[in-house]
Structure formats: C-alpha cells, structure tokens
Structure 1
Amino acid sequence: MQTKLSLLILAGVAWPAAAQEQPLSAIDWLAVQRNAPPVIVAPDSVPSRPVAQSATVPDVEVQSLDAPGAGGAGLLPGSVTGLPQTLWQGSTETDLIALLDPMQTRRPTVPALTGLLHILMLAEADPPASAQGDMLLQARVDLLYHHGLVPPAEALMERVGTLTPELFALAFDLALLTGTDESLCAVLNNTPSLSTDLPTRIWCETRSGDFAHAMTIYQTGEALGQLSDLDAELLLRFLDPEYAEDSAPMQAPVRPTPLQFRLFEAIGEALPTTPLALPFAVVELSGDSGWRAQLQAAERLARVGAIDGNQLLGVYTAQRRAASGGIWDRVEALQRFETALGSGDPAAISTALEQVWPQMRAAGLLVPFSNLFGAQLQDLQLSGRAQDIASLSGLLSEGYEETARALTGTGDARLAFLAALAQGQRPQSTPSNLPHAAALSAAWAETAQPPADIAPLPAQNRLGEALLMAVQKFDTGAAGSDADLTGALRSLRAFGLEDTARRAALQLAILDMEGARR
C-alpha cells in the first residue's frame, strides 16, 4: 500500500498531486521507501562554460550524494507523499517545535490524524530557511519515539549522516530498544566526543569487550560523584556479577531510560513494559517475554497506529488463550469471530460480531478491527445489532465510500448522516443524538473556507505548519469547540486532504457514539 497526499493548487502555488489513500502505518513506511521511484530534476538551462576569476583554491564542502543534511532528512520522498519540498521552509523552527512538543504525549483524537502526523514527521522536506533544522529533526524523532514508532525513527536517524552529540543521544536510545546499539557503540568508541554520558560510555566499552576500561571509567565517575545512585548501583551489578548475585533485587524506577532498562535486563531483573512509556512496548513484540506481554504490547502499539491491524491479528491468533478474563476474553472473542467469518454462516457471524465488537471497543481498537474485517461484513445478511455494527465497521474501514453508497436511503438518521459525510456531501439533516453533528455538517458547506489564521500559510511555504495547526484545532474541536472542529476539517479539505477529512469526521462521530455505549 502506498499512501499519497493529494495537494490542490492553493493561492497560485501548484504542488504535485497524487491520489491519497490510507495514511502510512509503521508497517508500510519501509516498503514505500524501498519502492519509491527516483526523482530526476532536469536543469532549467544549459550552463555557460565556467571561467575562473582567480587562482585561489576555494573551500569545498564535501557531502555524500545520498546523505541529506540533518534538517532535510526523511524516509518518504515527495513523489510518495505528494507533499512539497518546501513543507517547512517558510516557518520558523521555534514555531514548529512549539506545535510538536505537546503532541508527543497528547496524541491526535482520531487515528486518521495520527497517520497524517506520522507522515509529516517522516517526509523529506527542506528545513526552515532561517535554520539548519537540527532542532526540528530532534523534535520529529522525539515525536515518533513517544508514539511508539521506534524502528521508523531509527531508520530516519540513519539518513542523517554525521551525528552531533544531541543526535547521537537520540539514535542511541532508539538503538537500545531495537537491540542494534553495537554499531553505534563502535562509533562512540572511535569518537568519544559524541557523548559525555558515563553510563553510555561504560556500556559501549563492554560491547567492545573492554571490561577493564569500563570498570576504570565507572570507578572514576563514582569517585567524582558523576553517577546517580541508580546508575551507580546498576552499573556495579552489571560489571561485577558476583556482587549482583549477593545483592537483593533492585527497586524498579518509574521512568527508566532505555539504557537503564537494558541494564536491568542484563543483570537478570528485566522490567515489565506494561507500566512503562509506550516506546518500551516495542521490545515485547518479539514474544521473548511471553504471549501475554506480546499481546499487551501489540494492543498498545496498534491503538496509536504504531503497528497495523495485520500485525495485531497475527499476535491475537498465534496461540489459544491460557486463562480467562481481561485480555484473554478479547483474544477468545476475536478468534471465535474469525472462525465464524470463515464459516460463512450469517447467524454464527452475527453472534460472534456482537461479542467481539464491545471487546474491541473497550480496548480502543475499533479502527484496526474495522480495517481488517469491515469490508468482509458488507455483503452478509446479518441480524439486529450485528447489521448496525457491520455498517459502522464499514464506515470506519478503508472502504468507507462503498459502505456509504450501500446505505443510501437508509431509514436510520445517524447512518444516513454518516453516509453523506463518507461521500463528501453535506448531510440533509442533523441528528440531535449524534456527537458533533452540526460542526461536522458545516465543514462540507459549499462556501466552506479555512480559518483566517491557517488559510494563507501554504502560499508562504508553511504547509506543514498549517497541517499541524489543523490537527491541533481538530483536537480542541473534539473537546467541545465546534468552530475549531469545523475549521480543522475545512482546512484539510482546502489543502487537498479530502480523504483524511472524511475519515477523521467519521472516526470522531462513530467512536464517540460507540463510547457512549460503555
């Protein structure tokens, strides 16, 4: 699947258009990057023969042709995303970072906008004209990290080329979680100026097999008081196994660093990832810590779009449940539903669907579930509540337009409203019992225009900033500001992101409506 963002001509500036499909997931980004066609730019004119003005040898800056500057690094070229190279160019680094910082921990309200945000973070684009872009790159990588997209963030760092100490620290944290830190340790051992962090230096010395030097660094740091109490104890147990064997287990920190997490693992006191920050869930996807830990990690990551539904389904169906209650009931319901769907029996499917839907709703996984099964449910003759669920699932899926066309003429006012939005039409009526209905309907008015603070930005080479502001307005709109919600959707539509606007509107209405059933 290749996602492309279609951008219209705005304010006299023409951008390359591409058919927009579903936002990239963490599974798709690498395939897209590998399959992306090369971009060849023809010269405007044949240059005249150069003539030297002096015999002075000029200063020459050398850079690998395939190594973009740090500020412009990205995994998704404009030929894939449809986004212009000038995405950030007219903005200031300070303004962009101010928009991104809150989004690290407060993710967009709906998956459609989370997907858009991830594409923006992975896009190749020139940095702001007023800066080299190192700080913006750090903010982009930080956001991907906090959203659980650790492998894509690590791949983005690999495109940077020469690392600064600040970028090395980011890359090292990512590598610790993916288990690929050995190569970075070799870089650090050859270039010690990249990090003054003593635990990092000690860890990397042991990775090269020089435990004696690692102990020397530890003893010096401990004598000079340059190690925290936690790091000092962890490193001593790591470097002296006999001491570790005679010591009582350590108390787990509330917010360990990736290196502390690996040190606990190395001394035989591995920390459970469930209470830890989202990036640590990536460690459990291997299944080395057991199926339950893998299930919990997969659900956490799928909930925020860090893995796609197929990977989640693979984990759900890997084994038979070992117990009952909680996540095990969800696994059982999903497996029974998949079996019923394979049987083709409408009665069995109806029963299983009515059981699995509330389980997915409780876990915040209705959108991944719908992307997996929504299309398959549309041609089945289901009964009662199961038919309503199938319609909602179809509207939450990638095939929402086909589902909407089949709902034309339905007597259900809420489904008729949603079907109109799914087809890019302003609904004829506004159900009073549907969340945000009036604000959503207004976004598809014929004379709809983006808010005044967003509309002029793309023409100023500030499209990225405009899209971040639209995501921010959508969130405040979902929290109760109808004007902001309408303005956000109008902005997305005006900038050519019609598909994203429709999916965001459908997801907000349906997820809020279903949330009220809990």
Structure 2
Amino acid sequence: MAQDDPLSAIDWLGTDLLPRQTARPLPAPVNPADEPPVADSALAPQVDAQPLDAPNPAAAGLLPPAATGLPVTLWQGSDAARLSDLVQATDLAVPAMTGLMTMLLLAEADPPSGPGNGVPFLAARLDRLLDLGAVDQAGALLDRAGPRQAVLFDRWAQIGLLTGDGVPACQALAAEPRLSADTALRVYCTARDGDWTRAALILQTMGALGDMPPRTATLLALFLDPELADDIAAPPPPARPSPLEYRLYEALGEPLPTAALPRAFAVLDLAGNNGWKAQIEAAERLARAGTLPANRLLGLYTLRQPAASGGLWDRVAAFQAFEAALDSDAAGTRSRALEQLWPQMRSAGLLVPVAALFADRIAGLEFEGRAALMARYALLLSPEYEALGARDDDTDPRLRFLSDIARGAAPGVIPDLPHADPVAAAFSGAPMPETLQSQLTQGRLGEVILRAMALFASGAEGNTEDLTDALATLRRVGLEDAARRAALQLVILDAERARR
C-alpha cells in the first residue's frame, strides 16, 4: 500500500481477514430424560437489557470507519475482559504505536459481547486514554457515549476536575444521586453548589459511619471550614492523588506539583494562567507521549525569548535559533543550528514531534556534515516519511535501508543499525504468526492488532522474533503505514540513543 493511501482504502470485504459464514448442522433434539432434575442455583441469571433499536453507548467513538479503515466488527469475537487487559497492559515503544493505540481507542466499533453490554470495555478505553494524557479526547468520547452510568459517571467527574469544568458533573449528581457512590465527590459538589451546611452534614455522617478515608475526610473538613487550619494541618499528599484530592489541596493553598503525578495531570499546567516554564514542561511531557499536537509545542516554544539558560531554556533557545536559521540562505548557518538543536531534542525524547514540525521546511534544503544525516533522519521520522525521506540515490547503507523501509520494500542491504535484521525480515515477506492468523480468522481483528503491538514492545526490548512477528502482522492486516512508521522510529531513535 502506498504511504499516502488512507486506511479507509483497505477493502475489508474483499479479503479473507474476516471469518467466513459457514452452514452449521442443527443440534440434535435434547432428550428431557437426560436433563438434570433441578437447577444448579436458585438465583436469577444476570440479564443485560436495553431498549430495542437503542444505540449502544459502548459503541461510541470519535473516528468513524471511513477515517480509520477499521470495520465496526473490530472487537467482535473477543472476550471483553481480555481486551481490557490488553488495552491497559500493552506498552507503547514508539510514538507510532501511541498513535495506533489512540486510533483504536477512539474508533467507532461495536463493543465485545459480555456482561455490561460493553460498558466495562468502554471504561477501559477511557482509562487508557487518561493514562496517555489524552484528557480532552477521553472527555469527548464520554460526551458521545453519555455518562449516565455509574462506571462512566465517575470518570466524567474526574475529567471535569482535571479540565476545571466539573460543574456539569456536579449538576448531574445533584439531579441523580444514584450516579455515583463517591461520598467525597458528593460533599465537594454540594459545597460547590453553595449548600455548605448540607455538605458539612454529609461529611459528618460519612465520617461517623467510617465510610470515608481519614485523609479525604480531613481535606474536605478543611475545604468546608478554612479556619480549622489553625488547629489541623493538611495531611501529606499521596503518591497518586485523585483529581478531587488535587483540587482540594489546590483550594487549601497547597497545590501539588504535577511532574511526579500521572500524565493526565499535565493538562492542568497547560492553562494560560500557569507560568511559561510549567506550560512548556507539561507540553513536552504530553508531546513525548504522542498525545499533544506538535503545533501546540511550537506555540509554547516560540511564545517569548527565554530569560534564563540551562536545561529547558537551552532547548527553547536552540529551537528558536533553528527556526530562524531555516530562513537563511547559508547552508552552514542551518547546519550549525540543527547540530545544536538535535541533541537537545534527542535527550528530551522529542525528535519525532520536532520532525513533524520542520519536515516540510527541511525538505529540499542543503545541510552540511553531520547535519545532513540529522536532516534525513528528521524527514524519515515525519508523517511524510516516504514522500520526503525516501530516495533512490543513497550511497550511505543506513539511508538506503531506511529508504527501502519507508517505501515498504524489502531492504537490499542490512546496515549496522539497531533492529535492522528483524525489521528487514518483516519487510521481506515474513508471515504473521499462526496463532494470530487463527485469531484473525475467528474475527478477532482488534485483539490481533493489540497483540501485535505487545509483540512490538517486546521486540523493541531485543526479542528479534517478536519484532518481526509484530511488523508482519500489522502489514498483514492492512496497517502498512503504522508498520513503516513504527519500524523507522524504532531504528532511528535507538540509533540516536546509542550515540549519547
């Protein structure tokens, strides 16, 4: 498949990737005499029900099949609990894998069958989005699905607390208290609605019943009555506070630094009322994870001139200097600026977003010395890797190899680069593993993709067979662009790490 062909061009109905429907013999009649005389249990079986023709909220997504190229049967045939485990546990070794995971999590697709009509799997999708720091995407997905179930409502409230827009969740909880069993949230929302007396009464009752952790009870007491601070000190914060606990510490005048907190908390520092340094650090953290648009990083890096030096400020200065140097007619000026920028971004883990920002401007420009290789690497790390980075006249065996991968061709030479052998095998016709092929035949496409991503993470750690199997599987199911980008990023980024 050409790189610029959309995934939607995959002809799913014209391939053998989905299970074929075959006629099955009718089961033999059951002999009543063979039935057990009594039931195993007197308990009524659990029955999941929803109105006929009502849309299933668990099928909600932000990306339709026309945008992803993935069928609505993506998750069909797989066990919901197994899918949830894979979604949560799969490591993402390179930004291309983060992009693929995000696409899977946001895809419109019928949920797997099982208890809860797919809602537990939707909750797992939301949790992974939050783990990645994709808070806005998780919130938009919940808006599409509707948060009127308890397992979804609590996540909606958490997202509101992270984004500073918790009012709708509090209003919904006041109208329907059944939506959440979180009494701490109930106290907080009641106070936010202005009924401080009732909030204090709920807190006192829950404290007497022992239904609230002591730390949370103390924080809420101080929140409701700041004068208690003269007699009671705020408890030390936990290692992983909840969004509500974060907001309570903030309200008490003791805001928690977000750098050591889960990635979702980074969005708190992106607000314009935070310091420039805090905004840049949060943006870098999310860009490193692949969940922040590169242009957002560009806007922050170029907001103003750095007033200090060292660490982050050296990175900002190098970025601004390179952007200015791209307008120079002197190849030497551009080259020196790139040689200053490249190691700064390499150490920060930001080569891929920087490549996405500058690839169009780098293409066609001349660079000298070491900067020439850096520029080619940047083109190959960009979304336009094939159009901008692949060439037929490379004499450097490293660039010849990478150009072949960018075109999806079998490499003609195996250079001294990390992972070159297993990557070459995958692009030279290696078959996907029989186990995954069997699962694919059973219609477990989404599960197969997730397992391929797990194999890729294992391969990135040095398990060569897993890396070949992962890339071969992604190519087999039509995710050619993801396979090429992941291979290029893994080889180039590991080669750059080895240079440190």
| TM value normalised by structure 1 | 0.86
Cα pair 2:474 2:483 within 8 Å, conserved: yes
Quick one: distance in 1 between partners of 2:237 and 2:15? 58
Given that 2:456 and 2:471 are in contact with CA atoms closer than 8 Å, whether structure 1 keeps it comes out as yes
Partner of 1:465: 447
Percent same amino acid at aligned positions?
47
Contact kept in structure 2, 1:8 and 1:495, CA below 8 Å: no
Task: Indicate conservation of the 8 Å contact 1:404/1:420, yes or no.
Answer: no
Q: RMSD in angstroms over aligned alpha carbons?
A: 2.1
- Counterpart CA distance in 1 for 2:223 and 2:5 is 45
- How far apart in 2 are the matches of 1:188 and 1:400? 49
Question: Counterparts of 1:234-313 in structure 2 under 5 Å?
Answer: 234-244=219-229, 248=233, 250-313=235-298
- Match of 1:499? 481
Contact 1:274–1:281, Cα closer than 8 Å, also in 2: yes
- 1:314 is aligned, of 278, 299, 303, to 299
How much does 1:253 deviate? 2.3
1:61–1:466 CA distance, 2 compared to 1 (3 A): closer
Distance in 1 (alpha carbons) for counterparts of 2:408 and 2:302: 37
Q: Is the 8 A contact 1:10 1:495 kept in 2?
A: no
Q: Distance between the aligned counterparts of 1:112 and 1:442, measured in 2?
A: 20
Paired letter, 2:352: V
- CA apart distance, 1:143: 0.3
Unpaired segments ≥5 residues, structure 2:
19-48
Q: In structure 2, how many angstroms separate the alpha carbons of the residues matched to 1:294 and 1:312?
A: 9
Could you tell me which residue of structure 2 aligns to residue 24 of structure 1?
none
Q: How do 1:355-374 and structure 2 match up within 5 A?
A: 355-374=340-359
Cα distance per residue 1:31-58 (max 9 Å; x no partner): xxxxxxxxxxxxxxxxxxxxxxxxxxxx
Return the offset for 1:267.
Answer: 1.5
User: Match of 1:78?
Assistant: 65
> Residue 414 of structure 2 aligns with which residue?
430
Match status 1:413 vs 2:397: yes
Q: 1:337, CA displacement in angstroms?
A: 0.8
Contact 1:185 1:204 in 2 (8 A): yes
CA distance in structure 2 between the aligned counterparts of 1:405 and 1:478, rounded to whole angstroms: 23
CA distance in 2, matches of 1:61, 1:310: 43
Distance 1:213 1:111, change over 3 A: same
CA shift for structure 1 position 3: 6.7
Ranges in structure 1 where 5+ consecutive residues have no aligned partner: 16-59
Q: Which deviates more from structure 2 when the two are superposed, residues 263-272 or residues 356-365?
A: 263-272
Stretch of structure 1 that moved more, 85-94 or 454-463: 454-463
Shift of 1:342: 2.5
Looking at structure 1, the residues matched to 310 and 301 of structure 2 have their Cα atoms a distance apart, in angstroms, of: 15
1:327-366 correspondence runs (5 A): 327-366=312-351
Shift of 1:343: 3.0
TM-score (norm 2): 0.89
The one-letter code sitting in structure 1 at the alignment partner of 2:406 is: A
Query: Among 120, 124, 136, which residue is 1:139 paired with?
Result: 124
In structure 2, the residue matched to 1:7 is 10
Distance 2:442 2:410 in 1: 30
Q: Which residue of 2 aligns with 1:90?
A: 77
Alpha-carbon distance in 2 for matches of 1:429, 1:391 = 18
Q: Which amino acid letter does the alignment assign opposite residue 89 of structure 1?
A: Q
Match of 1:38 in 2: none
Could you give the per-residue CA deviations for residues 359-417 of structure 1, whole angstroms, max 9, x where no partner exists? 000010000000111232131121100111001111111221133443x2322111111
Please point out which of 201, 211, 218 is paired with 2:196: 211
Number of residue pairs matched by the alignment:
466
Query: Shift in Å at residue 423 of structure 1?
Result: 1.1
Question: CA-to-partner distance for each residue in 1:299-328, whole Å, 9 max, x for gaps?
Answer: 000011111111111111112213211111
Equivalent position SS for 2:70: coil
2:437 counterpart of 1:455: yes
Cα distance 1:82–1:279, how it changes in 2: closer, same or farther (>3 A)?
A: same
Aligned counterparts of 1:146 and 1:6: Cα–Cα separation in 2: 31
Quick one: which amino acid aligns to residue 454 of structure 2? Answer: Q
Which of 150, 157, 160 is equivalent to 2:135? 150
**CA displacement 1:97-154 (0-9 Å, x = unmatched):** 2212213xx4x11111110110000011111134411111111000001000001101
Aligned to 2:111: 127
Aligned partners of 1:182 and 1:64: how far apart in 2? 32
Distance 1:173 1:345, change over 3 A: same
What per-residue deviation string (whole Å, max 9, x for no partner) do you get for residues 183-242 of structure 1? 111111111112222210001101211111001011112222222221122111110122
Distance apart, 1:248 and its partner CA? 4.7
Q: Secondary structure at the match of 1:298?
A: helix
Q: Separation in 2 of the partners of 1:326 and 1:358?
A: 12
Deviation of 1:505 after TM superposition, in Å, equals 0.6
* Aligned mates of 2:5, 2:350 — CA distance in 1: 23
